[in-house]
Structure 1
C-alpha cells in the first residue's frame, strides 16, 4: 500500500480517536438548542420584514418586497461563503460564534431603531399600513441597510455551518442521519414559532418587544453554544473543494498546448496511488484532461505535486466533470426558487389588503401567512417517509428516483402559480366591485392558504429530491457541496425574483404601489407559463442524464433493509 494511503489511514484513526474523546451525543443538546435560539432570532425579523419596511419605514409595498427578496437571497448565499471560509481558514466553530455576534449586533440596531424616534421616520397620522407620506432620510436608510446587512450575514453564516459542525460530531453514518432529521425538525419548528409568536408580538404589542425577544433568543443560543465548547470535536480547516476545482480550470488553461494522452502512465493520480493501465480519465469534457497530464517539472522526486495550479489529480478532474454534468439539472431548478420568491413576497402584500380577522379580537399577522407553506412541507415530509415511499416500493417494487421527485415538485410549483393567479382574480374582482382601492378588501386572507400549501407540497418533493441527487452523484470529496448547491439555488432564485418583479414593474402597469389598482394575476400567469416551459427543459435534462452511482445506492438500500430486519 502506498505511503499516502498509510498516512490517510493514520489520519482517519487519529480523527476517530479524537471524536471518541470529543463529540458524540453529549454535544447534541448544545447544538440543537443553539440552532433553535438562532433560528428563533432570525425568523423573528425575516418573516415580518415586508410589514416592518412598509409600516415603520413607509417604503412602497413593491419596493419592500424587492428588499425582502434581496435579503432572502443574501441569507441563502452567505452560507456558501461561510462554508468556504470555514473549510479553508477558520473552521465551523469559529464561523458560528462570529456569525452569532454579527447577528446580535444587527438585532441591537433594529431595537434601537424601534425605540429611538430619530432613527426611523415619523409615524403616519392615519396609521395606514400603506402609508408612504413620510420618507426616511439618508441617515435612516443607512442605519436600516447596515442592520439588514449584519443580520443577513449573521443568519447566513450560522444556519448551514451549524448543520456541518453537528454532523462532524459523529463518526457513524446512521448517527449523522439521525442528527440531520432532528436538525431539520428543529429548524422548521423554530421557524414556525418565530413566524407566529414573535411576529404576533411585533404586530400587536410593539416592534421593540419583538426585536427584544429576538435578541434574547440570539444571546441564549450563543451562550449555550459556547458552553458546549469543551465537548465539541472541532474540525480543522482542510481547504475548500472550490479551490481544488478552480485548480483544474487553471491547470487545463495553462496546458492548452499539451496533447491529451491516451496512455494511463501519462496522467497523475496522486502520491503513492497505483492505477490500472486501463483506468483513463473519461472522454467527456476531454480538454479538462490536460490538467492531469504530467510534464517535466510538475512532479517532485517524492511523487508529490510541485505546483498545485499547474497539475491536478485525475480525481480532481473527474470531480469537476461531475459538477459540469449535473449543472443543467441544477439550472432547471433556479426558476423553481424564483417563482417561490415571487409568490412568498407578493402573498404578504396581498394579505395586507385582505381581511385578516379571526373573530372579533384576533387579527392574523400578514407575516405569519408563510407558516402554512412550512407546515405543509413538514407534514408531507413525514407522510412521504412513513407512508408514500414504502407504499410506492410495495406497488412498483422499487423506490422513486430523485429525478422523479424533482419532476413532481415542478408540477406542484406550476399548479401553485396557477392557483395564485385565480385567487388574485377573485381578490381584484371583490376589490373593484366594492371600490375598496387603498384599503382592506372584504375577502378573507385564508383564500391565500391553498396556494401556499400547494407550493409547500412541491418543496417537499423537489428540495429533498435535489439533495438526494447531489449526495448520490457527487464523489466523496464533493459531498459537502450538496447543501451548498441548494443554498446557492435558493439565493439565486430570490435575486432573480427581485429582477423579474422590477422588470414587470418597469414595462407594465401590473405592479403599482396599491396592488388593488394593478393586475397581479397577470404576473402569476406569466410565471406559471414560464414554469411549464422550464418543466419541459427539466424533462429534457432528466432524459439525457445518466446516473453514475446507481449500483452504490441500490447496495446501500439493500444493506439498510437487511439491518432493519435484523
Structure 2
C-alpha cells in the first residue's frame, strides 16, 4: 500500500518540479558525444511497455505480500497478533528505507537499470521462497487442533530462518526498486510534457496493480490457498523482470553522476578537520568558489548560520598545491557545497515532524488488520478479507489528492485571494491525522464494549458483533490527511532542497515513512512491556488507549510543527507557494 502512496507523491513532486524549472532532462556526456542521431534510437515511448510491465508485476506482488502479511503470520505461523504487527511494521519500514540505498547506489555506481533489474531478481527469489513456505508443510508449523487454543505448534528455528530470509529478500527487492523505476522511466524522455504523461500512467499502473492485490489476491489467499496467492505474485514478478530485460536494447541508460551525499560528507569532514581555525575575522578570509576558488569575493560569502561549517570552504596554505591551485578535496569544499548542506540542515526540523506522524499512521494501519480479524467481516454472502480493508485508506489518499488539487485549493484561493502555502497544507494534514487518531480510539472503545457485553472477551477467535466496515471511517480520515500532508512535503522538498539534491528529495518521504514503520514497532514494544494494553487477544487489552496515545502524540507533534514552521524561512524568493494553488490538469 505504501508503494502506491509514495509513487503518487513522486508524481506530485515531478509536477511541482516542472513548475519550478522549464529545463528539460539533460543527456549524459556519453550520449551527447554520440550525437542526436544515436540518442534518437534509444528512449522514448517504445520503452514504456517494458518499464510499465516491470512496475505492474512488482506492484501486484508487493500488494499481495504486504496487505495480508499479518494474517499469514497469525494463521500459518501461530505468531501472536501484536508480535505479527511488529514484524509487519519492521518489514514495511525496511521497504521504505531501502529506496535511499537504491538511489545512492544508482546515482553513484551502477545507474538505474542495474538497480531495478537486480532488485527485481531479488524480489523474485523472495517470492519464490514465500511460495515454497506456503506450499511445503515442513517449512511452517503444523495447523492447530480444531477447537484448541493452547496446542498450536511453535515454529522451529529453521522455519523462522526461512521465513525471515524470504521476508528480507522480498523487502529488499521491492524497496530497492521503489524510486529507481520512476527515475529510469523519466530518463527515457527529453520533453517535460512527455515526462508528465509518463508519470500519470505510472501512477495509474501502480494503483491498478495494488488494487488487484488488495482485492483479488488477498481473497485467493484467504479462501483458496496461500500457495496459489503467493504463486501468482511470483509469476507477476517473473513476467515483470523478463519484460524489463527485453527492453534493454531500447533504453537510454545515463551514466551515474555521483551521489550528492558524498559532497555532504566532505563538508562535514573538512569542517571538523579545520575546527581549530580562528573565526574572529572569518568574513575577511578567502573561500573556495568552484574548482579553483582563486578570486576573493565579499559579496556571496558564506552565510552566518551554522558558521562552524564555513571552515570547510576556507582556503589555507595546507590546501594549496605546488602550482598554486586549490582543488576540492576532503579538506576543502566550495561555498556552494557548504550552503547546500546548511539548506538541508534548516529543513530537517520540519522533516522530522513527519516521523511521529508516520509512527501513528503505521500503528493504526497495522492494528486495523488485527481489529478486523475479531469483527464481523460479512458483506452479504461475501466475507471481506481483513487485509483488504486497508484499500480504503489507499483509495482515500488517492481520491483526496485529486479533490484537494482540483477543488479545495482553487476554492481556497478564490475565497481568500491567496494560495494555501506548502506549510499550511502540511499543517492541515497534521490536524486531520490527529482527528483520525481520536476517531480510531472511539471506534475501538465501542468494539471493546461490545466484546465485553457479549462475553467474548476471553474467547480467542470469537467474532465481536460489530461490522468491520466501521474501521473504514478512521482509515478514510487518515487517508484524507495524508492527501494534505505528504504531497505538501514532497513539493516543499523539491522547492527548497538545493539543486544537487533534487533527485533524492522525494526519497526523503520514503525514508520518513520507513522510519515511521520501524519506530512504530519500537513504540508498540515499549507499550507492550510497560502496560497491559496489547495482549495477543486484543479483546482483553486496551488498543483504544494506544490510539488515544497516538492522538496525544499527534497533538504534541503538531505543536512542534507549528514552532518549526514559524521559524522556517523559505530558501527561494520566487512565489514559493503559488504552485499549490495552481496545479495543472493532468
TM interval, short-chain normalised: over 0.9
- Secondary structure at the residue paired with 1:480? helix
Rounded to whole Å, the distance in 1 between the matches of 2:453 and 2:391 is 30
> Partner residue of 1:141?
160
Q: Does 1:189 align with 2:208?
A: yes
Kept after mapping to 2: 8 A contact 1:19/1:169: no
User: Per the alignment, do residues 190 and 125 of structure 1 end up closer, same or farther by CA in structure 2, a change over 3 Å counting?
Assistant: same
User: Per the alignment, do residues 275 and 385 of structure 1 end up closer, same or farther by CA in structure 2, a change over 3 Å counting?
Assistant: farther
Kept after mapping to 1: 8 A contact 2:412/2:419: yes
> Partner residue of 2:7?
none
Rounded to whole Å, the distance in 1 between the matches of 2:81 and 2:35 is 54
Q: How does 1:34-73 map to 2 (within 5 A)?
A: 34-73=54-93
Q: Mean Cα displacement is larger for which, 11-20 or 500-509? A: 11-20
* 1:283-334 CA-partner distances (Å, limit 9, x unpaired): 1001101001111242557887646211111111111101100011011111
> Partner residue of 2:145?
125
Kept after mapping to 1: 8 A contact 2:103/2:504: no
Given the alignment, which residue of 364, 372, 375 partners 2:392?
372
> Partner residue of 1:239?
258
User: Per the alignment, do residues 13 and 475 of structure 1 end up closer, same or farther by CA in structure 2, a change over 3 Å counting?
Assistant: farther
Q: Does 1:252 align with 2:271?
A: yes
TM-score, L = length of structure 2? 0.90
User: Per the alignment, do residues 392 and 28 of structure 1 end up closer, same or farther by CA in structure 2, a change over 3 Å counting?
Assistant: farther
Deviation of 1:49 after TM superposition, in Å, equals 0.3
> Partner residue of 2:352?
331
Kept after mapping to 2: 8 A contact 1:95/1:158: yes
Given the alignment, which residue of 210, 215, 220 partners 1:201?
220
Q: Does 1:406 align with 2:429?
A: no
- Secondary structure at the residue paired with 2:415? helix
Rounded to whole Å, the distance in 1 between the matches of 2:450 and 2:35 is 65
> Partner residue of 1:161?
180
- Secondary structure at the residue paired with 1:449? helix
Q: Does 1:77 align with 2:100?
A: no
Q: How does 1:218-233 map to 2 (within 5 A)?
A: 218-233=237-252
Q: How does 1:255-274 map to 2 (within 5 A)?
A: 255-260=274-279, 262-263=282-283, 266-271=286-291
> Partner residue of 2:555?
532
Rounded to whole Å, the distance in 1 between the matches of 2:158 and 2:497 is 48
Given the alignment, which residue of 390, 401, 412 partners 1:381?
401
Given the alignment, which residue of 440, 457, 467 partners 2:480?
457
Kept after mapping to 1: 8 A contact 2:285/2:314: no
Given the alignment, which residue of 296, 303, 311 partners 2:332?
311
Q: Mean Cα displacement is larger for which, 93-102 or 222-231? A: 222-231
Kept after mapping to 1: 8 A contact 2:421/2:577: no
Deviation of 1:390 after TM superposition, in Å, equals 2.3
Rounded to whole Å, the distance in 2 between the matches of 1:132 and 1:195 is 32
Q: How does 1:24-35 map to 2 (within 5 A)?
A: 24-35=44-55
Structure scoring higher RCO (CA < 8 A, sep ≥ 6) equals 2
Q: Mean Cα displacement is larger for which, 78-87 or 395-404? A: 395-404
Rounded to whole Å, the distance in 2 between the matches of 1:554 and 1:379 is 22
Q: Does 1:295 align with 2:294?
A: no
Deviation of 1:185 after TM superposition, in Å, equals 3.1
Rounded to whole Å, the distance in 2 between the matches of 1:16 and 1:166 is 21
Deviation of 1:472 after TM superposition, in Å, equals 0.3
Rounded to whole Å, the distance in 1 between the matches of 2:34 and 2:111 is 15
Runs of 4 or more, structure 1, over 6 Å off, are 8-12, 272-275, 301-304, 554-561
Kept after mapping to 1: 8 A contact 2:292/2:327: no
Kept after mapping to 1: 8 A contact 2:405/2:581: no
Deviation of 1:191 after TM superposition, in Å, equals 1.5
Deviation of 1:75 after TM superposition, in Å, equals 0.2
> Partner residue of 1:320?
341
User: Per the alignment, do residues 141 and 305 of structure 1 end up closer, same or farther by CA in structure 2, a change over 3 Å counting?
Assistant: farther
* 1:471-499 CA-partner distances (Å, limit 9, x unpaired): 00011101122112101100111111101
Kept after mapping to 2: 8 A contact 1:374/1:456: yes
User: Per the alignment, do residues 127 and 489 of structure 1 end up closer, same or farther by CA in structure 2, a change over 3 Å counting?
Assistant: farther
Specify every segment of 5 or more residues in structure 2 that has no aligned partner in the other structure, as ranges: 1-26
- Secondary structure at the residue paired with 2:177? helix
User: Per the alignment, do residues 292 and 335 of structure 1 end up closer, same or farther by CA in structure 2, a change over 3 Å counting?
Assistant: same
Kept after mapping to 2: 8 A contact 1:265/1:277: no
Kept after mapping to 2: 8 A contact 1:393/1:399: yes
> Partner residue of 2:496?
473
> Partner residue of 1:418?
438
Rounded to whole Å, the distance in 2 between the matches of 1:142 and 1:398 is 57
Kept after mapping to 2: 8 A contact 1:270/1:304: no
Q: How does 1:484-563 map to 2 (within 5 A)?
A: 484-551=507-574, 553=576
Q: Mean Cα displacement is larger for which, 192-201 or 161-170? A: 161-170
Specify every segment of 5 or more residues in structure 1 that has no aligned partner in the other structure, as ranges: 1-7
- Secondary structure at the residue paired with 2:574? helix
* 1:210-266 CA-partner distances (Å, limit 9, x unpaired): 011101110111111111111211121221111110110000000112234545771
Q: Mean Cα displacement is larger for which, 292-301 or 94-103? A: 292-301
Rounded to whole Å, the distance in 1 between the matches of 2:58 and 2:568 is 39
